[in-house]
Structure 1
Amino acid sequence: MGSVRVRPGRIQSVSLPITRLVTGADVDLPVRVVHGREDGPTVWIDAAIHGDEAVGVEVVRQVLAGLDAKQLRGTLIAVPIVNVLGFMNGDRYLPDRRDLNRSFPGAARGSLASRIAHLFMNEVIAKCEVGIDLHTGSDRRTNLPQIRADLDDPRTRDLARAFGAPVMLHAKLRDGSLRYAARERGATVLLYEAGEAWRMDDWAIDAGVAGVNRVLARLGMVEGPDAPEEPSAVSYRSGWVRARGTGMLHLESKLGQRVVKGERLGGLFDSFGKRVRLVHADRDGIVIGRTEAPLVNSGDAVVHLAEIRDDDGADRVVEPAEVLSPELSGDHGG
């Protein structure tokens, strides 16, 4: 990794140079390599490609804390903070306002975002066959723990099932994203979404840690943790219900709640409490995301619904109580 050689049975931190600040201080990409004593797959986990996404950083920390290189089969490459400059400022983007997750595979002589993407591709992804990309909701949105992946690919679907999130959503590849660039290199990639930006949502962290460990177990790298109590609900289609007016938003729907088309999800009110509009579900499905913004304008996305399918009887619709514990099923986004 870079100029460092990590021997079998060892854990080592590596700093990969990114740039230099105006103060003369160097900015490096922090990487930790857990090189197992026994042969096995090489896997990466990363977080904070968007600098305001803190949940994944804690997921990486807890996963690393539970690993022993002498017992591990294969190698885990962990990058807890990819967008170092954004993370230090609590900013989703880089200083030049570029979105790092639209800059892959990057170029050695491109923009700052392009150079970071190029470094990550060549030092991390090029060495791995499987990756888990950790994210949270953005723009005052919170997400139910979910895996987004190419569910039409058998190996990807198998690892998504092993992760055991409440929902796994078939998501098309987006040009410029890490997932797209890694797939072009032949890697199998899972994208984990959970929680809200710039918050440490314990329920999102716990689900992420358990899921990553299950994937490592599925790959034969560690001993298997407990399987999820229920299989993930499967969705091939989702969409946001949008506000049809402007007002103060009072949502009644909770993350993980199963709703039917036409069901009331909440309402919009003016500053004196007069109801302006109701918000209704536009499809049957599960609430996998919702805005936490108190004020919304006409056309703003307010509730994300995933339609659930049962392919062969193996996937079951998840009831709200089975997705989140009672203390998490309320308005936890503040």
Structure 2
Amino acid sequence: MARESFAIGTVRIRPGSARALELPITRLVTGADVTLPVRVVHGRDDGPTVWLDAAIHGDEVVGVDVIRQVMGSLDPKAFRGTLVAVPIVNVLGFMTGDRYLPDRRDLNRSFPGSARGSLAGRIAHLFMTEVVAKCEVGIDLHTGSDKRSNLPQVRADLDDPRTRELAEAFGAPVMLHAGIRDGSLRHAARERGAIVLVYEAGEPLRFDSYAVEAGVIGVRRVLATLGMTDEVSEPPARPSRECRSSGWVRARRTGILHLDARLGQEVADGERLGTLFDSFGKTLNAVYANRDGIVVGRTEAPLVNSGDAVVHIAS
């Protein structure tokens, strides 16, 4: 028997087809409509229902290009299951290159939201109702924040066997067992019974090629593992490094930072990672690793204040 059409918003997508649509969010003061862009690939054959999302923070553009490339490679007639892609969740922040919404709320601390709540709450509620509620698995695409870059990594509940299987299939250099944050999409979706992988890679407002490439290949591997596409021909060069905890090294002085630590570098507790200077070149303070591990994030800002996070190390 043929599959049923997939319903989202006021639209129904027939099996073996793909369709772009828009879900109404709000209106600008000019009267122009603001909508959530969605593209659905509804395969001809049965399979899981999965969502991809990016730009929950408006300055995180890497995931937008990941979704563009993944969706462009899919044939609805050969696809199994359904894929719902939302490349830009924080539409208003994305238009201005701002991490937050105009009301200064962090959308990823506003889930599951409310139909009558703040703007952030309403967008979160719309996403939960129209996307998450229809899906079994989700991949939430992010980058570093506030002039920071991240090594490609998957954050997930590695103690859940099915989640761990998909995290391993993704094949990022690191998979980090990460706790749940209240108000996050991952938390709200988990409460609804969905498996969620959070992909972190690259720097805000940049199409970092290493981050985009690892994301595209990782998403394709997950789709193949779920049986939605044929097996990917590019297995990971080596298994993901499993990390169970992480922490930031913080600057102990205010100054100009020359950072030597590279993303992916293995470091030892007490190893020198960089140096702080004053504007005349006088050495103020060295920056040292506070644990053994791998560098999964670093600041790209040359000017730092005492207490600023400068290097993220996962153990």
Structure 1 length-normalised TM: 0.91
Shift of 1:189: 0.1
Which residue of 25, 32, 48 corresponds with 2:32?
Answer: 25
Number of aligned residue pairs: 307
Shift of 1:238: 0.5
Give a deviation string over 1:39-72, Cα, whole Å, max 9, x none.
0000000000000000000000000011010010
For 1:296, the equivalent position in structure 2 comes to 304
Give me the whole-angstrom Cα distance separating, in 2, the residues matched to 1:215 and 1:40.
13
For 1:107, the equivalent position in structure 2 comes to 114
- Which 4+ stretches in 1 moved above 4 angstroms? none
Give me the whole-angstrom Cα distance separating, in 2, the residues matched to 1:172 and 1:253.
26
For 1:157, the equivalent position in structure 2 comes to 164
Give a deviation string over 1:244-266, Cα, whole Å, max 9, x none.
11110001110000011111100
For 2:4, the equivalent position in structure 1 comes to none
Give me the whole-angstrom Cα distance separating, in 1, the residues matched to 2:104 and 2:86.
22
User: % of aligned pairs identical?
Assistant: 75
Give a deviation string over 1:167-186, Cα, whole Å, max 9, x none.
00011011100000000000
Which residue of 260, 263, 266 corresponds with 1:258?
Answer: 266
Shift of 1:108: 0.5
Output the aligned Cα RMSD: 0.5
For 2:22, the equivalent position in structure 1 comes to 15
Q: What is the letter of the counterpart of residue 274 of structure 1?
A: K
Which residue of 104, 129, 147 corresponds with 1:122?
Answer: 129
Question: Which secondary structure state, in structure 2, belongs to the residue aligned with residue 5 of structure 1?
Answer: strand
Give me the whole-angstrom Cα distance separating, in 2, the residues matched to 1:260 and 1:141.
21
Runs of 5+ in structure 1 lacking a partner? Answer: 308-334
Which residue of 53, 68, 73 corresponds with 2:80?
Answer: 73
Structure 2 length-normalised TM: 0.97
Matches within 5 A, 1:133-282: 133-225=140-232, 226-282=234-290
Give me the whole-angstrom Cα distance separating, in 2, the residues matched to 1:119 and 1:84.
13
Give me the whole-angstrom Cα distance separating, in 1, the residues matched to 2:231 and 2:139.
18
For 1:316, the equivalent position in structure 2 comes to none
